[in-house]
Amino acid sequence: MIVSFRHKGLAKFYAVGSSAGIQAKHAQRLRALLGFLDVVTSPEDMRSEQFGLHRLKGRQKDRWSVRVNKNWRLTFEIRNRKVYELDYEDYH
């Protein structure tokens, strides 16, 4: 279950399907990833090459990342079987 978002455009896309605030070319992939994130209860639920799941390092070591495309990622925390602080970012 997704509880909170850092990225307002992604939150709006999730709530009402508006692509304002996200790259339209990512909409289909984001829709699929959000569907998975809405039901996962642990990072292990997304351990598949198609997601490119990995733990971040340093100050963000409690966060996880899944691949949207080459540079774009969804980053998030999983606590108490829920997804928090979901962000959509180009961090490369």
pLDDT value of position 88: 98
pLDDT tens-place values along the chain, 92 residues long: 999 999 999 999 999 999 999 999 999 999 999 999 999 999 989 888 889 999 999 999 999 999 999 899 999 999 999 999 999 999 76
Confirm whether 92 is a catalytic residue.
Answer: yes
Structural domains of the chain ordered from first start: 8-90 (3.30.2310.20)
Q: What is the pLDDT of residue 44?
A: 87
- For the chain, the three-class secondary structure string (H helix, E strand, C coil) is CECCECCHHHHHHHHHCCCCCCCHHHHHHHHHHHHHHCCCCCHHHHCCCCCCCEECCHHHCCCEEEECCCCEEEEEEEECCEEEEEEEEECC
Given 7, 26, 54, 92, which residue is catalytic? 92
Tell me what pLDDT residue 91 has: 73
Q: Both tokens of residue 55?
A: 């733990």
